[in-house]
Chains A and B, each alone.
Chain A
Amino acid sequence: MNTNPPQNRGLTAIDGAMVLIVILLMVQIWLLSATLESYLAGHRDAAVPGAIISLILFGACFALYRFIDRVDSEVRKH
């Protein structure tokens, strides 16, 4: 039986989602710096995959944020 109160379970889920967002953001920061270095070195081919992957990572971050928002509003209703 899960004795953890709903308030704490919600917080655990939010903390997990936040850690995921932080990891995705770190990958995005690395991706931006690598794409910029590549562009400045004269390789313009990396710009398209860089932008697409960055967009996908942002989509994942946004989905996690929506998840946090939903958990937050559901838990605080009770």
Chain B
Amino acid sequence: MSPITFGRETMNWFRKRSSTPLWQDEFSVFTADERYVTRRQFSKFLTLTSFGMVVGNLWILAKSLLHRETAYPRVVVAGVEEIPVGGVKIFNYPTSNDPCILVRIASDNFVAYSQKCTHLSCAVYFEKEQNRLECPCHQGFFSITDGSVLQGPPQRPLPRVALEKRDGQLVAIGMLRESV
């Protein structure tokens, strides 16, 4: 890359002007200097990695600043009497690529969660005897009452589907992503 000229001054892109040529600075002819060169290059690599971490954090910041609340559709999931107590129904919400699980945990209490485990997206299922949601891939367990992590590698709770009872039917009205 050719240097840029500003007035009478010549500026280099990445390196201060020096009497030592770049090749000699980076690949010294003196054996004793080799330890310095390798250490300096390694620390340059570490500093660039540190810059990569900053870029990652700034990306998250930009995503959170530009975040918009998603408008969720209203979808009829099941009839209230369709599922017995302890019964389960699998449905897709909000899109056909988002599997969810609906569980009737009491006669008047229904809960629904995304079926994708927050660890590596395996499908969770309802374990009736233990009264919890289980991920068979890595033994991650979630509370059936609020979707929080009980045990295992997942760090985040399952996203919950907001339900509404209307005319004897259960209607999905949105996703609650706030952790509990």
Chain B residues, Cβ within 8 Å of A47: 57, 60-61, 63-65
Q: Once bound together, how far apart are the Cα atoms of A65 and B51, in whole Å?
A: 12
Number of interface residues of A (CB under 8 A): 42
Q: Once bound together, how far apart are the Cα atoms of A50 and B157, in whole Å?
A: 21
Number of interface residues of B (CB under 8 A): 34
Contact B42 A18 (CB under 8 A): yes
Q: Once bound together, how far apart are the Cα atoms of A7 and B33, in whole Å?
A: 9
Chain B residues, Cβ within 8 Å of A32: 53, 56-57, 60
A61 CB to closest chain B CB, in angstroms?
A: 4
Contact A25 B50 (CB under 8 A): yes
> Which one, A15, A17, A40, A44, contacts B67 given CB within 8 A?
A44
A-B contact count (CB 8 A): 111
Contacting residues of chain A (8-28) with chain B, CB-CB under 8 angstroms = 10-11, 14-15, 17-18, 21-22, 24-25, 28
A60, closest chain B residue (CB): B50
Chain B residues, Cβ within 8 Å of A29: 53
Chain B residues, Cβ within 8 Å of A64: 43, 47
Flag whether B129 is at the interface (Cβ < 8 A): no
Contact A54 B44 (CB under 8 A): no
Contact A54 B53 (CB under 8 A): yes
A49 CB to closest chain B CB, in angstroms?
A: 10
B50, closest chain A residue (CB): A61
Chain A residues, Cβ within 8 Å of B56: 32, 36, 54
Residues of B within 8 A of A (CB): 18, 28, 32-33, 35-36, 39-40, 42-44, 46-47, 49-51, 53-54, 56-58, 60-61, 63-65, 67, 118, 155-157, 177-179
20 A-B residue pairs with Cβ-Cβ distance under 8 Å, sorted by A, are A17-B43, A21-B50, A25-B50, A25-B53, A28-B54, A32-B53, A32-B57, A39-B64, A41-B177, A44-B67, A47-B60, A50-B60, A51-B61, A54-B53, A55-B57, A58-B50, A61-B46, A62-B50, A65-B47, A68-B40
